[in-house]
Structure 1
Amino acid sequence: MSFFSRMPLFVLLIGVAGLAMLVPAAYAAATAWYEIARSFLFSSVLMLVLTALLGAATAGGRRPGPHGRSVLATMLGVLGVLPIALGLPLAMVLPDTGIFNAWWEMVSCLTTTGASLYAADMLAPPIHLWRALVGWLGGLFILVSAVAVLSPMKVGGFEILSSPYGRSERFRPLPESADPRNQPQFFLGLGADRTTPSARAMRVLRDVGPYYAGLTLALWVILLLAGDPGLVALCRALGTLSTSGISPVAGSVGVHSGVLGEVVVAFFMIFALTRRFWPGGGELRATETLRTDPELRLGLTVVVLVALVLFLRHFFTSFEQEIAASNVATGVLISLRNAAVAAWGGFFNALSFLTTTGWNSVDWQGARSWSGLESPGLLLAGLAIMGGGVATTAGGVKLLRVYALARQSERELERVVHPTSVSGGGRMARRLRSEGAYLAFIFFMLFALSIAVTVLLVSIRPIEFDTAVILSVSALTNTGPLAGTIHLTPSFESTAGFASNPWEGWSGLAALPKTVLAGAMIVGRLETLAILALVTPDFWRR
């Protein structure tokens, strides 16, 4: 184990990618897709041999340090360069797609964006399994790197609640009697951890990995019992825990399992609302109890309010139509029944896009057909921009930053009425309203600037402005299915091969917009890490 902890993190992840390729290879061999199995097997052997060579070459070198520059380069390399290796079997199976499109597809999967260049019914089942598996590994990488990499650098959301004095202020209470010759360690946190990124990642993986894999297995079994086919249930489970939204079939979540499957998936989506459900990330706990967790309360409140707005929107639109088509009593009963169905569809979609998963409920289309209204795509885009919990698999701006700005706004309104009042709420509440709100506002400005720059670069090619905006927001929030909720003008400047699907708005783009959007996915996944790290003092401190 010590040998692996001394290896560079990027080399270790190449080996993990090689081992992961054996899973679709075995599945393809078991289902008689022998050519696909051979491609994955050869790619796996190549990755493992490359890992062994790089590991031997770096074993006797200088021990990598925990400096921020090397960590930042590793994060960028994993999300930008590793997809080339991940896309190698895809390029071999689809020879007309090219290595560029295969790289783009793997960037989308690894960043848990879930946008695809290909039509679901044109890809073989092992390819779907590989896409979902890469998305699942990308979610695990985010959970691990959030604590092992981002936390020591105080970026990626950890800056909201971090101490401005450069040390942890969380203390355990002193025992009733203590031996002065054997004082316990009362400091918590990773500030004094000088181990390598690989060692920290392996330590966090031992804590997070069993929970992540166990929850995925549990969801897979439940979806199988609910009626989903084996591959569909597995990809749904992988896509839910990683919030990638990757599915082997087009359509809603409850196509096979019904509302029961959607209820189960919605329950497991809650794990993307707060880091409290995962090991590590203790610095992000603004409260001591789960009931008062700000991210969880804000997320569920937003979901309920959006579901209520959509319910009233559909209900009042269709109520007059139902009354006019039948008598009053029958019309009221029909409207209430349809309204209950539409309420669940709105609740599921709101939670799905808030966690940046991007799946639709089976009742979502029914609600639209019932009321005759168009899909509120801009509302779903706003939920995706808000995002889920900090240091979770969800993308977006994150709920904790929104909460910090909301508390600061509340405090400013209170000072208008009572100028000499003293704010309360405890140390963490004051931290959120002061330094936390200031840093959250900076991040909002950086996020808005990222959207503007991405739209500007994408619009260099002849692309409709609204299409460029939606694609840019989808990429920066890591919510690829968002592009399917709003009518886009397809582009036919390029193709990803015979399996491409230009009507979704991605595969028909030229090479320049695709490259820009792939970079936006990486920036959105790292939360403008390169910009934030440059203004963080810890980045320059040895």
Structure 2
Amino acid sequence: MTARILRFPLILILAGLAALLMFLPAIDATMRGNSQVGRAFLYSGGLGLAAVTCLGLAISNRVAAREPTDVQNLASLLLAYLLLPLYLALPFYLGVRNTTFLNAWLEMVSSLTTTGASMFDAPGRIKESLHLWRGLVGWAGGLLIWISAFAVLAPMSLGGFEVTVRAEPGQDDAVLGRFQRARPARRLALAARSLAPIYAGLTLVLWIALMAAGERSFVALIHAMSTLATSGISPIGGFQNGAAGFGGELVVFFFLVFALSRLTFSSDTVPTARPGLLNDPEFRLGVLIVAVVPLILFLRHWIGAIDIDERATVTEALRALWGSVFTVLSFLSTAGFESADWQAARAWSGLGTPGLILIGLAMVGGGVATTAGGVKLLRVYALYLHAQREMERLVHPSSVGRASDTGRRIRRRGAYVAWIFFMLFALSLTGMTVALSLAGLNFETALILALSGLSSTGPLIHSAAEVPIRLVELGPGAKIIYAGAMVLGRVETLALIALLNPAAWRE
């Protein structure tokens, strides 16, 4: 039965799962006595299931004869980000009632792409069942990224895997083992069966840990789902408004580590001998950034930022250090949560609005095949290896580089592909910034919005700007452009170019 279902187009399967997911907030709203919100989700889910069933029956004969290819699954993934939010926004729009459908659609695009930027600055404006829907859509979007990265992007040498494999981006690589040999439908089944229990189990453990730290059950659930999906969605405006305190932040900190490397939860797509987590370049680079950046902010207290006569207690110093460490990892993983001690860290370092630091962290992003966005640590590592080798050749022009076969491949071809992606990212950033500027925004606001969308880090609009950006005040054109930036940042420009390659569609 599962094998037959997976023969249907991926977007149809996702629409059916979205319809089933709507019954959860319907039940929650009914239990809370919000019958109007409950009916919105119940009717939307029922109509969606009926439409998916009818469409599935209509194309069942074609599906039985031929299953989707990798490039068709990639196209379905893109269509899911473009079209599925229109359906996801329907019950949200009917439940809120005092907003436009465009705002509801943008909210769902932000949630599905795990960007986490919200149209509603005041969390109390919408009911808790609607917050649950935002969290569920973001959580499902994170699981979609996990599964599609392993079952769709990895076999086609996309999504960051092009740095380590031998095949050209958009082409299969035989080194990927069973994920390359298996049929596309089989790969989806394998990835879903192996990753979904891990994803759900980690969410459950974090939910229980946050409740043990003193957080309310509902808030703990949303924060647990947002942490695993790195969406940054919160029903109370962030951890600084929660009851879990330092214990809750400490638990979340360890779970954000899953966004630094895919080896923290799987190694099925490692194309070479499995080196282990501690030897993984992505993980080591991420840990280095999390250690060095807070240390620089901490030491800045004694480098002319603060009056030398000012005295601080050990407790204040530790609070400032923890606030920096947590916030740096959060923005590096593109979750965008701020520590409750982040204000103390800013005061300690003497930085009023360290927007450039947060923007840089979000732009670097997390690991390949994780829920994090950005350029990705593996691409940054490839560029670092290439730069290191070029510096060596300046001193010793005739030297022979010392590295393993994998290291040489990453340093040569991997760095070349990583540089191409970085240039595409820069061009996308330039284009989005210009488009938002033409929509009536000033340069700073347009740049922050473009970076927020392309890096899937919605909280940047509040943390990076001196004055928080309110999405609800944007014009319709700017909202549509921002939604396009979020979709482009999630799918990546290189994947779009692979879709336009005629060789990828050739049987």
TM-score by length of 2: 0.94
Residues 72 and 335 of structure 1, relative CA distance in 2, 3 Å threshold: same
Does the CA contact (< 8 Å) of 1:245 and 1:481 recur in 2? yes
Per the alignment, residue 272 of structure 1 pairs with 259
Residues 361 and 294 of structure 1, relative CA distance in 2, 3 Å threshold: same
- 1:459 maps onto 2:446 in alignment: no
Per the alignment, residue 36 of structure 1 pairs with 37
Does the CA contact (< 8 Å) of 1:135 and 1:242 recur in 2? yes
Q: Alpha-carbon deviation of 1:307?
A: 0.5
Does the CA contact (< 8 Å) of 1:275 and 1:281 recur in 2? no
Per the alignment, residue 8 of structure 1 pairs with 9
Per the alignment, residue 142 of structure 2 pairs with 139
Residues 432 and 370 of structure 1, relative CA distance in 2, 3 Å threshold: closer
TM-score by length of 1: 0.88
Does the CA contact (< 8 Å) of 1:153 and 1:539 recur in 2? no
The residue identity in structure 1 corresponding to 2:17 is V
Per the alignment, residue 25 of structure 2 pairs with 24
Per the alignment, residue 154 of structure 2 pairs with 151
- 1:363 maps onto 2:341 in alignment: yes
Does the CA contact (< 8 Å) of 1:298 and 1:403 recur in 2? yes
Per-residue displacement from partner, 1:272-322 (whole Å, max 9, x unpaired)? 00011233542366851221110000001011111001111245557536x
- Distance in 2 between residues matched to 1:168 and 1:477, nearest whole Å: 27
The residue identity in structure 2 corresponding to 1:194 is R
Alignment RMSD: 2.1
Per the alignment, residue 188 of structure 2 pairs with 201
Out of 464, 473, 476, which is 1:511 matched to? 476
Residues 189 and 37 of structure 1, relative CA distance in 2, 3 Å threshold: same
Per-residue displacement from partner, 1:89-126 (whole Å, max 9, x unpaired)? 01111233222221111010000000011131211100
Per the alignment, residue 129 of structure 2 pairs with 126
Residues 345 and 399 of structure 1, relative CA distance in 2, 3 Å threshold: same
Does 470-479 or 54-63 show the bigger shift?
54-63
Does the CA contact (< 8 Å) of 1:254 and 1:262 recur in 2? no
- 1:114 maps onto 2:116 in alignment: yes
Does the CA contact (< 8 Å) of 1:132 and 1:246 recur in 2? yes
- Distance in 1 between residues matched to 2:98 and 2:503, nearest whole Å: 46
Does the CA contact (< 8 Å) of 2:285 and 2:381 recur in 1? yes
Per-residue displacement from partner, 1:327-371 (whole Å, max 9, x unpaired)? xxxx3xx34432211111000010000000000001111233455
Does the CA contact (< 8 Å) of 1:155 and 1:532 recur in 2? no
- Distance in 2 between residues matched to 1:306 and 1:285, nearest whole Å: 31
Residues 44 and 169 of structure 1, relative CA distance in 2, 3 Å threshold: closer
Per the alignment, residue 91 of structure 1 pairs with 93
Per the alignment, residue 204 of structure 2 pairs with 217
Q: Alpha-carbon deviation of 1:432?
A: 0.5
Out of 390, 403, 426, which is 2:381 matched to? 403
Question: SS at 1:519's partner residue?
Answer: helix
Runs of 5+ consecutive residues of structure 2 not aligned to the other structure: none
Per-residue displacement from partner, 1:243-286 (whole Å, max 9, x unpaired)? 00000012435731111111100000000000112335423668
Sequence identity, in percent? 44
Per the alignment, residue 433 of structure 1 pairs with 411
Residues 538 and 336 of structure 1, relative CA distance in 2, 3 Å threshold: farther
The residue identity in structure 2 corresponding to 1:58 is I
The residue identity in structure 2 corresponding to 1:405 is L
Question: SS at 2:367's partner residue?
Answer: coil
- Distance in 2 between residues matched to 1:137 and 1:222, nearest whole Å: 21
Return the index of the structure with the highest Cα Rg. Answer: 1
Per the alignment, residue 82 of structure 1 pairs with 84
Runs of 5+ consecutive residues of structure 1 not aligned to the other structure: 171-186, 325-330, 490-502
- Distance in 2 between residues matched to 1:167 and 1:427, nearest whole Å: 20
Does the CA contact (< 8 Å) of 2:353 and 2:466 recur in 1? no
Out of 233, 240, 248, which is 1:246 matched to? 233
Q: Alpha-carbon deviation of 1:58?
A: 1.5
